[in-house]
Structure 1
Amino acid sequence: MDEREKLRKFRELDDAFAQALRELEKPNSRLDIPTGPPVRSLAELEAEEQQQRQQAFETRLQSLMKEYAQPRESVAVLLRTLQTLGHIA
């Protein structure tokens, strides 16, 4: 790209930026400024991952309960025992 083309693109960008600033200064104007997707916090992402892991665990547990014909009460006792012994958090 030659210097004239770079200068032309810079001017276009500068004009667009100036126009956006003018739009921001107008009261009650509808802004037509493109934005990206909403930014999600790290805490939200971690919470979502935790929820997905929990759902995967529950699905796998239900599958195993069905495969080995174990009732909920029996599995609940087993999980409490494992938790008490410190084998699961």
Structure 2
Amino acid sequence: MDEREKLRKFRELDDAFAEALRELESPDSKLDIPTGPPVRSLEEREQDDEETRQQAFEQRLKTLMSEYAQPAESVSHLLQTLKSLGHIA
């Protein structure tokens, strides 16, 4: 997300918060303050993103193994070799 988008979202949040405060201070307020979805922590979002990437990688790997008729043992050996040579982390 670029800086402009972050600033825009911050302004929207600030405006919504100010409006909510005005409604609370109003004597005839019905407390009609909108609530959004629950806020997730950054850690939870990153974990979900990592799980999504992992699932996508596994699906691509299975597809390639099927297309090239490579058994899991052969692919595992190849990955272990690449890892031992420092080509993958």
TM-score of the alignment, normalized to the shorter chain, above 0.5? yes
- Which AA in structure 1 matches 2:54? Q
**Structure 2: runs of 5 or more not aligned:** 1-20, 27-31
Per-residue displacement from partner, 1:37-88 (whole Å, max 9, x unpaired)? 1111111111111111111110000000000000000000111111111111
The CA distance in 1 between the partners of 2:68 and 2:53, in whole Å, is 22
2: distance between equivalents of 1:46 and 1:84? 28
Which one has a bigger Cα radius of gyration?
1
Hey, what's the Cα distance between the residues in 1 that align with 2:76 and 2:69? Answer: 14
Give me the identity figure in percent. Answer: 64
Distance between the aligned counterparts of 2:86 and 2:44, measured in 1?
28
- In the superposition, the TM-score normalised over structure 2's length comes to 0.62
Q: How far does residue 33 in structure 1 lie from its aligned partner after superposition? A: 6.2
Number of positions where the alignment pairs a residue of Structure 1 with one of Structure 2 = 68
CA RMSD of aligned residues (A): 2.7
Corresponding residue of 1:17: 24
C-alpha deviation, 1:34, in angstroms: 4.5
Q: Which amino acid aligns with 1:74?
A: S
Over 4 Å off, 4+ runs: none
Question: What TM-score does the superposition give when structure 1 sets the normalisation length?
Answer: 0.62
